[in-house]
Structure 1
Amino acid sequence: MNDSITDSVDIVVVGAGVTGLYAVHKLRGLGYRVRGFERGEDVGGVWYWNRYPGARCDVESVDYSYSFDEELQQQWDWSEKYATQPEIMRYLRHVADRFDLRRSYTFGTSVTSAELDERTLRWTVRTDGGEVVSARFCVYAVGCLSSAHVPDVPGVAEFGGATYHTGAWPHEGVDFTGLRVGVIGTGSSGIQAIPLIAEQAAHLTVFQRSANYSIPAGNAPLDEETRGRQKAGYAERRRLSRLSGGGSPHTGHPSRTFEVSEEERRAAFEERWELGGVLYSKTFPDQLTDRAANDAARAFWEEKVRALVDDPGSADLLVPTDHPIGTKRIVTDSHYYETFNRDDVRLVSLRGNAIERVDGGGVLLADGTRVELDAIVFATGFDAMTGAIDRIDVRGRGGRRLKDVWSEGPRTYLGLGTDGFPNLFNLTGPGSPSVMANVVLCAEQHGDWLAECLSHIDEYGYRGIEASAEAVEKWVGECRDRAAATLFPAADSWYLGANIPGKPRVFMPFIGGFGVYGDIIAGVADSGYKGFDLLTR
Structure 2
Amino acid sequence: MSSAPNVLDYDVVIVGGGFSGCYLLKLLRDQGFATVLIEANSRLGGVWSWSCYPGARVDSELPYYGYSDPAIWSTWQWTERFCSYRELRGYFNHVDKVWRLSPDVVYNTKVTRSQWQEDSGTWLISTAEGQQQYRCTWFVPATGTSFKTNVPDLRGKELYQGSMLHSSKWPESGLDFTGKRVAIIGAGSTGVQIMQEAAKKSSRVVQYSKTPNFALPMRQRQISEEEIYHTKSHVPHLFKACRNTRIGLAVTNTGKKTFDVSDEERERIWEENWKRGGFNWSQGGFTDTVFEKEANLAAYNFWRKKTRARITDPAKADVLAPKEPPYWILTKRPSLEQDYFEMCDRPNVELMNSPIEEFTEKGIITRDGQVREFDIIVFCTGYDAVTGGLRTMGIKGRDGIDLNDKWRDGVRTHLGMLVTGFPNMFVAYGPQAPTSLTNGPTFIEIQSEWIAETLSTQREQKLRSIEPKPEAEEAWREACSKIAEATLLSQTNSWYMGSNIPGKPREFLMYLGGIPAWHEACKEALKDWDGFDVRT
TM-score, length-scaled by structure 2: 0.97
In the alignment, what sits opposite 1:532?
532
Letter of the aligned partner of 1:118 in structure 2?
A: E
In the alignment, what sits opposite 2:342?
338
1:292 aligns with 2:294: yes
Q: Which segments of 5 or more consecutive residues in structure 2 lack a partner in the other structure?
A: none
In the alignment, what sits opposite 1:85?
85
In the alignment, what sits opposite 2:98?
98
* Identical aligned residues as a percent: 35
Query: How many residue pairs end up in the alignment?
Result: 530
Letter of the aligned partner of 1:379 in structure 2?
A: C
Letter of the aligned partner of 1:341 in structure 2?
A: D
Between the aligned partners of 1:116 and 1:235, the Cα distance in structure 2 is 41
Cα shift at 1:230:
3.0
Cα shift at 1:204:
0.9
In the alignment, what sits opposite 2:481?
480
Cα shift at 1:174:
0.9
In the alignment, what sits opposite 1:348?
352
Partner secondary structure for residue 243 of structure 2? helix
Task: Tell me, yes or no, if the aligned pair for 2:362 and 2:374 is still in contact at 8 Å.
Answer: yes
Partner secondary structure for residue 112 of structure 2? strand
Select between 300-309 and 198-207 the one with higher mean Cα deviation: 198-207
Between the aligned partners of 1:135 and 1:82, the Cα distance in structure 2 is 38
Q: How does 1:259-274 map to 2 (within 5 A)?
A: 259-274=260-275
Between the aligned partners of 1:90 and 1:274, the Cα distance in structure 2 is 30
Q: Over residues 194-251 of structure 1, what are the superposed CA-to-partner deviations in whole Å (9 max), with x where a residue is unaligned?
A: 0101112121111111112101101111223432343211232122211111101111
Task: Tell me, yes or no, if the aligned pair for 2:72 and 2:94 is still in contact at 8 Å.
Answer: no
In the alignment, what sits opposite 2:124?
124
Letter of the aligned partner of 1:39 in structure 2?
A: A
Between the aligned partners of 1:28 and 1:84, the Cα distance in structure 2 is 30
Cα shift at 1:423:
0.6
Q: How does 1:317-332 map to 2 (within 5 A)?
A: 317-319=319-321, 321-332=325-336
Task: Tell me, yes or no, if the aligned pair for 2:61 and 2:278 is still in contact at 8 Å.
Answer: no
Task: Tell me, yes or no, if the aligned pair for 1:278 and 1:329 is still in contact at 8 Å.
Answer: no
Cα shift at 1:148:
1.1
Task: Tell me, yes or no, if the aligned pair for 1:322 and 1:491 is still in contact at 8 Å.
Answer: no
Task: Tell me, yes or no, if the aligned pair for 2:184 and 2:380 is still in contact at 8 Å.
Answer: yes
Q: How does 1:75-474 map to 2 (within 5 A)?
A: 75-130=75-130, 131-282=132-283, 283-319=285-321, 321-350=325-354, 354-474=355-475
Cα shift at 1:4:
4.2
**Deviating 4+ runs (over 6 angstroms):** none
Partner secondary structure for residue 116 of structure 1? strand
Q: Over residues 468-503 of structure 1, what are the superposed CA-to-partner deviations in whole Å (9 max), with x where a residue is unaligned?
A: 111101000000001111111111010111000000
Between the aligned partners of 1:324 and 1:281, the Cα distance in structure 2 is 13
Letter of the aligned partner of 2:89 in structure 1?
A: M
Partner secondary structure for residue 181 of structure 1? strand
Between the aligned partners of 2:484 and 2:230, the Cα distance in structure 1 is 37
Select between 262-271 and 297-306 the one with higher mean Cα deviation: 262-271
Partner secondary structure for residue 426 of structure 2? strand
Task: Tell me, yes or no, if the aligned pair for 1:413 and 1:472 is still in contact at 8 Å.
Answer: yes
Partner secondary structure for residue 190 of structure 1? helix
Q: Over residues 280-318 of structure 1, what are the superposed CA-to-partner deviations in whole Å (9 max), with x where a residue is unaligned?
A: 222111111111111111110000111111111111111
Q: Over residues 418-458 of structure 1, what are the superposed CA-to-partner deviations in whole Å (9 max), with x where a residue is unaligned?
A: 01000111011101100000111121111100111111111
Letter of the aligned partner of 1:190 in structure 2?
A: G
Letter of the aligned partner of 2:507 in structure 1?
A: V
Task: Tell me, yes or no, if the aligned pair for 1:10 and 1:137 is still in contact at 8 Å.
Answer: yes
Partner secondary structure for residue 233 of structure 1? helix
Letter of the aligned partner of 2:315 in structure 1?
A: G
Q: CA RMSD in A?
A: 1.4
Partner secondary structure for residue 174 of structure 2? coil
Partner secondary structure for residue 388 of structure 1? helix
Q: Over residues 305-357 of structure 1, what are the superposed CA-to-partner deviations in whole Å (9 max), with x where a residue is unaligned?
A: 1111111111111126221110001100110000122111111112xxx1111
Partner secondary structure for residue 243 of structure 1? coil
Cα shift at 1:60:
0.7
1:12 aligns with 2:13: yes
Between the aligned partners of 2:402 and 2:234, the Cα distance in structure 1 is 47
Select between 219-228 and 17-26 the one with higher mean Cα deviation: 219-228
Task: Tell me, yes or no, if the aligned pair for 1:6 and 1:133 is still in contact at 8 Å.
Answer: yes
TM-score, length-scaled by structure 1: 0.96
Between the aligned partners of 1:228 and 1:483, the Cα distance in structure 2 is 42
Letter of the aligned partner of 2:117 in structure 1?
A: D
Between the aligned partners of 1:429 and 1:300, the Cα distance in structure 2 is 34
Instruction: Sort the Cα spacing of 1:228 and 1:522 in 2 relative to 1 into closer, same or farther, 3 A.
Output: farther
Partner secondary structure for residue 296 of structure 1? helix
Cα shift at 1:413:
0.2
Select between 311-320 and 23-32 the one with higher mean Cα deviation: 311-320
Between the aligned partners of 1:147 and 1:168, the Cα distance in structure 2 is 11
Task: Tell me, yes or no, if the aligned pair for 1:281 and 1:288 is still in contact at 8 Å.
Answer: no
Between the aligned partners of 1:138 and 1:466, the Cα distance in structure 2 is 12
Cα shift at 1:265:
0.6
Cα shift at 1:360:
0.7
Between the aligned partners of 1:279 and 1:391, the Cα distance in structure 2 is 36
Cα shift at 1:3:
6.3
Between the aligned partners of 1:441 and 1:259, the Cα distance in structure 2 is 32
Cα shift at 1:523:
2.3
Select between 184-193 and 514-523 the one with higher mean Cα deviation: 514-523
Task: Tell me, yes or no, if the aligned pair for 2:147 and 2:389 is still in contact at 8 Å.
Answer: yes
Q: Which segments of 5 or more consecutive residues in structure 1 lack a partner in the other structure?
A: none
Task: Tell me, yes or no, if the aligned pair for 2:15 and 2:142 is still in contact at 8 Å.
Answer: yes
Letter of the aligned partner of 1:94 in structure 2?
A: H
Between the aligned partners of 1:280 and 1:410, the Cα distance in structure 2 is 32
Letter of the aligned partner of 1:160 in structure 2?
A: Q
Partner secondary structure for residue 87 of structure 1? helix
Task: Tell me, yes or no, if the aligned pair for 1:281 and 1:325 is still in contact at 8 Å.
Answer: no
Select between 215-224 and 371-380 the one with higher mean Cα deviation: 215-224
Between the aligned partners of 2:134 and 2:113, the Cα distance in structure 1 is 11
Task: Tell me, yes or no, if the aligned pair for 1:277 and 1:331 is still in contact at 8 Å.
Answer: no
Between the aligned partners of 2:415 and 2:363, the Cα distance in structure 1 is 47
Task: Tell me, yes or no, if the aligned pair for 2:156 and 2:358 is still in contact at 8 Å.
Answer: yes
